[in-house]
Amino acid sequence: MSLKAPASVKAEHDELHRELVLATEAGGRTGKAAEVVARLMHSHFLKEEEFALPPLGLIAELANGRLPAHATAVLPLTDRLEAELPTMLAEHKQIVGALNELITAATAEKRPEHVRFAEKLLVHARTEEEVMYPAAILVGKWVRERAGAAV
């Protein structure tokens, strides 16, 4: 069984990506600002989907006291997230700066849909920092503890 991010998290990422594409196609300052966001976000989203979010797919089972047979497969992912967390947070700071530029441009060009998108993405980044990344790391710690110190 492969580890996957919860479907709801994947759907949210897909929606944010679609909205970002629309913003890049807006033209003007808004489009240019959105292109900067897209450039910064591309590799960041790939990393999240590779190792930061798949551990969250185990949460429901772990919360119910079950340790799936494949659970230890999560450990390289959570170890990598812990190691790369400072970089991930630094990338968020860059993305937040670019999103603020997008908000400024979209506001000036009277593009409220792109302002709303940027604001939604700001909340998403904060949720990752405050909830998703720490939860993924806790999954790894819990699995390591339950599976035994030898893992």
- Map out the domains of the chain as residue ranges: 7-60+70-147
pTM for this prediction:
0.91
- Going residue by residue through the chain (151 aa), what tens digit of pLDDT does each one get? 578 999 999 999 999 999 999 999 999 999 999 999 999 999 999 999 999 999 999 999 999 989 998 899 999 999 999 999 999 999 999 999 999 999 999 999 999 999 999 999 999 999 999 999 999 999 999 999 988 744 4
| Residues 6 or more apart in contact with residue 132 via CB below 8 angstroms | 9, 52, 53, 56
pLDDT for res 149 = 47
CA nearest neighbour of 83 among 47, 120, 115: 47
